[in-house]
Amino acid sequence: MSTPSRKIFVTNALPYANGDIHLGHLVGYVQADIWVRFQRMLGNEVHYVCADDTHGAPVMLRAEKEGISPEALVERVRGEHLRDFTDFGVAFDNYHSTHSPENRAYAEDIYKKLRAAGMIETRAIEQYYDPVKQMFLADRFIKGECPKCAAKDQYGDSCEVCGAAYAPTELKNPYSAVSGATPELRSSEHYFFRLSDPKAVEFLREWTRATNADGSRRMPPEASNKMREWLGEAGENKLSDWDISRDAPYFGFEIPDAPGKYFYVWLDAPIGYLASFKNYADRVGFDVADYIDPVKAAAAGTEMVHFIGKDILYFHALFWPAMLKFADYRTPNFLNVNGFLTVDGAKMSKSRGTFITARSYLEQKLNPEWLRYYYAAKLNSNIEDLDLSLDDFVAKVNSDLVGKFVNIASRCAGFISKRFDGKLAASDAAALAPFVAEETIATLTKAFNDRDYSSALREVMRLADVANVYVNDEKPWELAKDPAQLERLHRACSTALNQFRALTILLKPVLPALAAQVEAFFGVTPFVWRDLAAPLAVGHCINPYAHLMTRIERKQIDALIEANKETLVTEVKTAEPAQKHAQHQAHAAQTEAAQADEFEPFISIDDFGKVDLRIAKIVAAEHVEGAAKLIKLLLDIGEVVDGQPKPRQVFAGIKSAYDPALLVGRLTVMVANLAPRKMKFGMSEGMVLAASDDKGEVPGLFILSPDSGAQPGMRVK
RNA sequence: GGUGAUGUAGCUCAGAUGGUUAGAGCGAUGGAUUCAUAACCCAUAGGUCGGCGGUUCGACUCCGCCCAUCACCA
């Protein structure tokens, strides 16, 4: 190979040590693993590491709940995560932990260098404090009524009902989600990374736009667009300083010279890449400076590549490079960003059983390489969500892998074994040509290198079709009947097996276990990319063929879904607040599950009394132009202004279930003292009560009706 | 509300810088075959390329507006 070999340090986003690996996580890990395996087959030197992200309040609280130390918890979870990755063929060189001496050393070093560079500043901030639990509360641990729409039990950062964003101090009737106590405001000294410093802003503006020395991009175009949005135009300063400290009690690293102050989990999480790498290098025996010192790395020509999910782009494209830059470390060469996973076009859902854990997939005896292939067949370098369409999954794997690919060996190997003592003849050069054509190999090499796996696999499957047509044209089963055609039979089957061998080499980054079986079948050393250039030697002896892969049956998938269905969420919602980490979609899935499955906590009769429910008569109902879900209602609740009846105007989201014409004249129940809310189409002065199944299993929407005799304006209680 | 992405055959997706009859795989239908853990091969049917308008000799491809879905932000 003429090009000098690359030296690449590759990382995957660190999964958080609180929760199982699921099929959504695996998209990014499979994507990175395929890339790493491909680079190695090319002869490049790759160091591929990951770790568990262990710090923060959620881990601390979960450990407390389980009655074990946080250290014990994170060590156990780390083992589970590593086992899941390993079983899916994701082969890290090292799987470390952010709760490690190496990570502490790097975190302190980076912090001290940032401080020396004038990038750290302290200031007091007011924050809610839980007097029972004796801890400061993160936004997600404070709940209360939304200041905008008065919805109950909303988190401290935003309202899930009206979408409003606010500070936790703006919540009405706040309470601690940890203890239930009413929090009190207390002042505390916090440490900030001065991201708003013009130096940092200037650096990031340049860094996110520029390319590497070789002209390659640092991130996908969609990501740099997003950066431009976050950074604003030159002169604008849209970045604010980043709060990197948390008060005790906190599971993490204490900040040097600042007793009782800890590094925020997100400060030391990406540093965990370096820590895992260092831990590995020390074990193997090489110097990490060639990869992480800016001068030495440039001299050695090493690369650093991160694979992350789109939910954590902000941290990796802004905080992380800025931290590294101002602490005098090398910055990343490339951020690969993957989208979320949807299942049958919808968000993963615990109640629907599509929140599928890696472990349950394996327990159902599903082949991990089926999933690796399916993901690869749909992955490209864009930040697009990937849909796991279950029917498509079954069809694609069965058709491509079993019907086309494995079938080639299956239909030819027997002839070679039985008729020719397992020895191969010379191949038909013309038939093998498409598989070894320089142009084809160059195209496929580029596609894999650019992480455009979907187009690579399309090409591989096209070649598999070519091989099947070749066998069909040669008709070995007919040749076998004619002793005069023995030589031709030998050549045809040898050719097809060499075609199959080429396909296996091309698929090996995606299907390493299957490739290993094929290597054993051929009795050869592990395939590398340059093996594509030459077929197996004449006289090479193959082993008896054993079937390489079975088909998926739809009922196996159904069993998997069934196994992942949760009819009741046993964990208390607040015990595991969503934390945006490498836990793709954990948040959405959790709130979805919680909404669907949980009853609200008890309230007092006084609380209930605050809700003014009234019998209302629908005096008018009409569609709202431009609104997909709304019907505009005029509701008579007996109110009179200046001697005239004054009905309330209410926008109700019931268009999908009711025809306005049929609503007029009906009696129903409305909340009369809901704060009026301005909507795009006008003021809404109340709310009509309707029932629906939050889980979405039972369709429909049902407004309430009183028994006959009730009059508009009557109080409901 | 703002920003961005997406919307192409029943399904999952391709379609550089605009150019003759819009592609693949799966599925469907018909045929052929039996070497292959019903796999493979051949053929056929299926799309006004989300909608409306514009630029152009010509647009799936460029521009504007609208609709839907998704994400991020305030």
pLDDT in tens, A513-546: 999 999 999 999 999 999 999 999 999 999 999 9
Instruction: Name the nucleotide with the smallest C1'–CA separation from A408.
Output: B36
Protein residue closest via CA to C1' of B66: A626
Which pLDDT value is given to residue A587? 32
Instruction: Name the nucleotide with the smallest C1'–CA separation from A165.
Output: B74
CA-to-C1' span, A454 to B16 (A): 17
Which pLDDT value is given to residue A607? 58
Which pLDDT value is given to residue A680? 58
Condensed to tens digits (0 to 9), the pLDDT of residues A183-217 reads: 999 999 999 999 888 888 889 888 887 788 777 78
The pair of three-digit structure tokens given for residue A183, joined into one six-digit string: 């929090």
Which pLDDT value is given to residue A681? 64
Radius of gyration of chain A (CA): 31
Which pLDDT value is given to residue A627? 60
Q: Report how far residue A632's alpha carbon sits from residue A652's, in angstroms, rounded to the nearest whole number.
A: 6
ipTM of predicted complex: 0.92
CA-to-C1' span, A211 to B6 (A): 27
Q: Is a pLDDT exceeding 80 seen at residue A254? A: yes
Which pLDDT value is given to residue A697? 43
Which of A215-224, A230-239, A281-290, A362-371 has the weakest average pLDDT? A230-239
Return the bridge partners of A687, or none: A671
Condensed to tens digits (0 to 9), the pLDDT of residues A44-95 reads: 999 999 999 999 988 998 999 899 999 999 999 999 999 999 999 999 999 9
Q: Is a pLDDT exceeding 80 seen at residue A551? A: yes
A101 confidence band (pLDDT: 50, 70, 90): very high
CA-to-C1' span, A469 to B59 (A): 38
Specify the residue for token string 């239909």: A411
Q: Report how far residue A341's alpha carbon sits from residue A30's, in angstroms, rounded to the nearest whole number.
A: 13
Q: Report how far residue A617's alpha carbon sits from residue A667's, in angstroms, rounded to the nearest whole number.
A: 4
Q: 3-state DSSP call for residue A248? A: coil
Instruction: Name the nucleotide with the smallest C1'–CA separation from A546.
Output: B37
Strand residues in A154-198 grouped as ranges (E):
154-155, 172-176, 184-193
The pair of three-digit structure tokens given for residue A125, joined into one six-digit string: 């901030």
> Is the link from the previous residue into A249 a cis peptide, with omega within 30 of 0?
yes
Percent of chain A scoring above 70 in pLDDT: 86
Which pLDDT value is given to residue A4? 65
The residue type found at A36 is V
Instruction: Name the nucleotide with the smallest C1'–CA separation from A465.
Output: B40
Query: What's the mean pLDDT in A216-236?
Result: 78
Which of A103-112, A375-384, A645-654 has the weakest average pLDDT? A645-654
Condensed to tens digits (0 to 9), the pLDDT of residues A409-446 reads: 999 999 999 999 999 999 999 999 999 998 889 989 99
Nearest Cα to Cα of residue A80 among A268, A281, A360, A369: A360
Average pLDDT for chain A: 85
A3 confidence band (pLDDT: 50, 70, 90): low
Q: Is a pLDDT exceeding 90 seen at residue A142? A: no
Q: Is a pLDDT exceeding 60 seen at residue A603? A: no
Which pLDDT value is given to residue A677? 64
Which pLDDT value is given to residue A1? 42
Q: Is a pLDDT exceeding 80 seen at residue A379? A: yes
Protein residue closest via CA to C1' of B70: A385
Strand B contact nucleotides, protein CB < 7 Å: 1, 3-6, 11-15, 24-27, 34-42, 66-74
Q: Report how far residue A91's alpha carbon sits from residue A88's, in angstroms, rounded to the nearest whole number.
A: 9
CA-to-C1' span, A212 to B5 (A): 26
CA-to-C1' span, A569 to B13 (A): 36
Which pLDDT value is given to residue A163? 60
